[in-house]
A and B are shown apart, each in its own frame.
Chain A
């Protein structure tokens, strides 16, 4: 059983650009959640996908969007990057959306916006 992977590890973008971050969930996990973790803060929920449909969203603007694919991979897209988007982005997969199922986190993608 392979763990959750994320790519790239690090990324540097400039303000106004667009970025796509990728996550590969654990095999058999139908749910993926994305989090933003600013320096010195805990993870903040961005949104969750369950069986390729958005299944909940946090307080993030529409320029944050996502996709989930049938092969257990998913994407987080951020348009019109702002300096405050600089953070560690985590994805976490679980078997289903209920809180009773353990989330397995990826190592994260460090995004720097200049």
Chain B
């Protein structure tokens, strides 16, 4: 069963525009959710985790249990935000979504 869904393969926005990367999950318990990022020619790395309720590089993500979503948001996109973003759920093991490529245009 698909645990994590990222409906957009590619998202293009202009610099300074708001950005929202969508993530929906299927899990009936209390999920632990994460966002990972992979910049060009770099390795996959943790961006933020739900449990920390933190803002990293201006990004935030709110868990909405009713909509089973964990969308990643940033009010003003920067060119350096261009990367591949993966949403992940941990339930005994990590389940990753298929990823969304964010392209921030100048």
Q: Name A's B-contacting residues (CB within 8 A).
A: 4, 33, 35, 40-45, 48, 56, 58, 90, 92, 99-100, 102-108
Whether A43 lies near B32 (C-beta < 8 A) is no
Which secondary structure characterizes the binding site on chain B? strand
Whether A99 lies near B90 (C-beta < 8 A) is yes
Whether B44 lies near A45 (C-beta < 8 A) is no
| A-B CB contacts (within 8 Å), total count | 45
- Residues of chain B in range 24-63 having any CB-CB distance to chain A below 8 Å: 32, 34, 43-46, 51
Q: Which of B4, B43, B88, B98 has the most CB of A within 10 A?
A: B43
The residue that A105 contacts in the complex, of B4, B43, B51, with Cβ under 8 A, is B43
Alpha-carbon gap, A88 to B17, bound state (A): 33
Question: What are 18 A-B residue pairs whose CB atoms fall within 8 Å in the complex?
Answer: A40-B9, A42-B4, A42-B86, A42-B96, A43-B96, A44-B96, A45-B94, A48-B93, A56-B92, A92-B44, A99-B34, A100-B51, A103-B94, A105-B43, A105-B44, A105-B45, A107-B43, A108-B43
Chain A residues lying within 8 Å of B51, measured Cβ to Cβ, are 100
Chain B residues lying within 8 Å of A102, measured Cβ to Cβ, are 46
Given contacts A103-B46, A105-B43, contact A43 B92 (CB under 8 A): no
Alpha-carbon gap, A23 to B32, bound state (A): 26
Alpha-carbon gap, A43 to B92, bound state (A): 16
Chain A residues lying within 8 Å of B97, measured Cβ to Cβ, are 42
The residue that B44 contacts in the complex, of A43, A56, A100, with Cβ under 8 A, is A43
Tell me how many residues of B have a C-beta within 8 Å of chain A.
21
Alpha-carbon gap, A90 to B96, bound state (A): 13
0/1 interface trace, chain B 1-22, chain A, CB 8 Å (1 if under): 0001010010000000000000
CB distance from A10 to the nearest CB of B (A): 15
Name the CB-closest residue of B to A4.
B43
Chain B residues lying within 8 Å of A107, measured Cβ to Cβ, are 43
Alpha-carbon gap, A104 to B97, bound state (A): 18
Alpha-carbon gap, A99 to B31, bound state (A): 11
CB distance from A43 to the nearest CB of B (A): 5
